[in-house]
Amino acid sequence: MPDPIEVRKVPLHTVSDASGLAELIDAGVLEADRVVAVIGKTEGNGGVNDYTRIIADRAFREVLVDKGSRSPDEVKQVPIVWSGGTDGVISPHATVFATLDPATAERTDEPRLTVGFAMSEVLQPEDIGRTAMVSKVSDAVKEAMERAGISDPADVHYVQTKTPLLTIHTIRDAKSRGKTVWTEHTHESMDLSNGCTALGIAVALGEIEMPTDADVMHDRSLYSSVASCSSGVELDQAQVVVVGNTRGVGGRYRIGHSVMRDALDADGIWAAIKDAGLDLPDRPHPGDLHGRLVNVFLKCEVSQDGQVHGRRNAMLDDSDVHWHRQIKAAVGGVTAAVTGDPAVFVSVSAAHQGPDGGGPVAAIVDLGPDPTGYVPPPPQP
């Protein structure tokens, strides 16, 4: 049986700020050596050259080394997934997952949060966008499930990944070995890496059959309802974090999921929160959360038909501001309006992650007697 999980959200006051993590450790809320994953948002451009992800990653790993007994090499193995770009009202933050000593956790036979992680085999540049990547990711998801103590895919509610994308350097490397790559456009390779990874998650969880190379980025009816995939230049493997529920593990947290059908589907966000175990009225309000929502995690994607609710939009035709930034800001605003908290994990590039124009939503709630989630300040008179 895996250990119970403590999960907290901390703000990032600057790009290099990890003081929230340090404060949790100093206060005894969690131990540095028990941190098993971090998932966060940084304020960079969200593109191929978003250096803020590297800065934040270094800051958090330095805290884990300074305040724990693990070596720098051991801390490098901790999955820390940064999604760049806090467009609109999204606030930079990180969600920290750590195991607890079972003797200190709340006892319950109800389903409670569990986390497992794994690293895939090395992903070569020629793998990205092809079934070789799908297979390697699928194998890593199954390994992470096993580490989380999950045997039934229905108990998986969120799979966060970080995978490599293509750069000029890796494209040249593939060519030097006589290989071809799916695309030579590095920014397009971000969508490609995310989408192909999502198909690997869907295969591992039995949501779809093994796709063909031709299906990748083309058959949008193939998707995972729990995948949240990011990519960057920081690694050459897939980092996989599986988050679900299991009975007997104990603790106070629980996760649920749903999907947004389009960019304005606030009900999809509320459905995930309810699925996590909160009893809410038919037409809920942020004030009904009472600090029990730890965080929500969403992927979003512009609809390929250029419409939302039957109305035309110009995001795909805009040459001034890339649609990545526009849809992220839009969905971030919808999400913050639901939760009452701008520190929400909203990530773009959701090919094969939820239905076209929508995306998966996962929600973690605190079911303990003294909830630890965010409570917004009262409105000013």
If phi > 0 it is left, if psi is from -120 to 50 it is alpha, else beta; for residue 253 that is beta
Please list the alpha-helical segments (H only) found in 224-282: 266-275
User: Residue 39: enclosing H or E segment and its boundaries?
Assistant: strand 35-42
Nearest CA-CA partner of 304 in 264, 269, 352: 352
Active site residue 230: yes
Nearest CA-CA partner of 142 in 126, 130, 128, 159: 159
Active site residue 136: no
At 36, which amino acid appears? Answer: V
Cα–Cα distance measured from residue 117 to residue 160, given in angstroms and rounded to the nearest whole number: 9
> What is the residue whose two structure tokens read 């995978």?
163
Angle subtended by helix axes 131-148 and 188-204, to nearest 10: 50
- Cα 343 from chain centroid? 14
Give the list of residues 6+ apart from residue 304 with CB closer than 8 angstroms, or none: 220, 356, 357
Determine the 3-state secondary structure of 155 from DSSP.
Answer: helix
Nearest CA-CA partner of 9 in 342, 298, 285, 234: 342
Active-site residue, selected from the candidate residues 228, 230, 231, 349: 230
> What is the residue whose two structure tokens read 């992927």?
299
Angle subtended by helix axes 19-26 and 52-66, to nearest 10: 20
Determine the 3-state secondary structure of 18 from DSSP.
Answer: coil
Active-site residue, selected from the candidate residues 136, 162, 299, 328: 162
Half-sphere exposure of 117 (CA within 13 A, CB side): 21
Give the list of residues 6+ apart from residue 380 with CB closer than 8 angstroms, or none: none
Cβ atoms of 269 and 335 within 8 Å: the answer is yes
Cβ atoms of 82 and 18 within 8 Å: the answer is no
Cα–Cα distance measured from residue 24 to residue 31, given in angstroms and rounded to the nearest whole number: 8
Active site residues: 162, 230
